[in-house]
Amino acid sequence: MKKLITSAILLISIQVAYSQSIVDFFYSIPEKYVDNLSFIERRNLIQNQTLEKDDMLYSLDYDSENGYLRLEQSYTEGQSGYGIYEITYWNLKSKKLIAVSSVMGSNGGFHQNDFKFFEYENGNLSEVRNGYLKSYTSNFKVFINNLISEFTKKGTNQSDKDNLRLQFTIDLPRKGKNISASFKEGFMGSSHFDNYSKFLKLREKTFVFNLENETFE
């Protein structure tokens, strides 16, 4: 009997280690990528879908079937700022690829705050240094500048790219496998956006996931 119980516990442990869900990844992503929420705070969010912490209000929506999670953050009083955090994953041949994206905004505007790829393999979660997306590197400042450069015309100076960054966001798929990135007029209005849109060769782009090569093209 003891041997059977031990075997059952081992089997459950293996299943937990290798059959990860979007909720499991939400728990395991380092705190700094989900607004420094602790494991206990994240567990409360999964159970209740909302959480109040100091002057912050968090709301959570997740889709286990499609492997997608969206966390929204806002202030309960005073400030107008907000944050949107997205997590999703792709099943690769021998591992899982996880993406974590965050957008920050307020009445004054919005911008892509961070973007990271992680790999989950053999029970281990590790941050991806480069790959999967042509421009991707784990150094976010370098990555976002590389990515915006794909959208801008040759000869666009760094100052204009920095201004365009304030209107640029990356969207993870709730359904499907493709990542999209785009410039939005947002708070700046069409006239302000027009001042910088002349530097764009693309306003939006869908990075299509190639399952065979396991890259976004």
* pLDDT, position 184: 79
- What are the angstrom distances between the C-alpha of 78 and each of 40, 53, 57, 74? 27, 15, 13, 10
In a domain, 11, yes or no: no
Tell me the three state secondary structure of residue 52.
strand
In a domain, 133, yes or no: yes
Based on the structure, what is the number of domains in the chain? 1
Q: Consecutive sets of 10 residues in the chain, 217 residues long: mean pLDDT of each?
A: 38 45 97 97 97 95 97 87 96 97 86 97 96 97 96 94 89 96 69 76 96 96
pTM: 0.86
Report the distance separating Cα 65 and Cα 72, nearest Å: 20
What domain range is 66 assigned to? 19-216
In a domain, 10, yes or no: no
In a domain, 144, yes or no: yes
* pLDDT, position 191: 55
In a domain, 205, yes or no: yes
Among the residues of the chain, which ranges form H helices? 2-18, 22-28, 39-48, 140-151, 158-165, 189-197
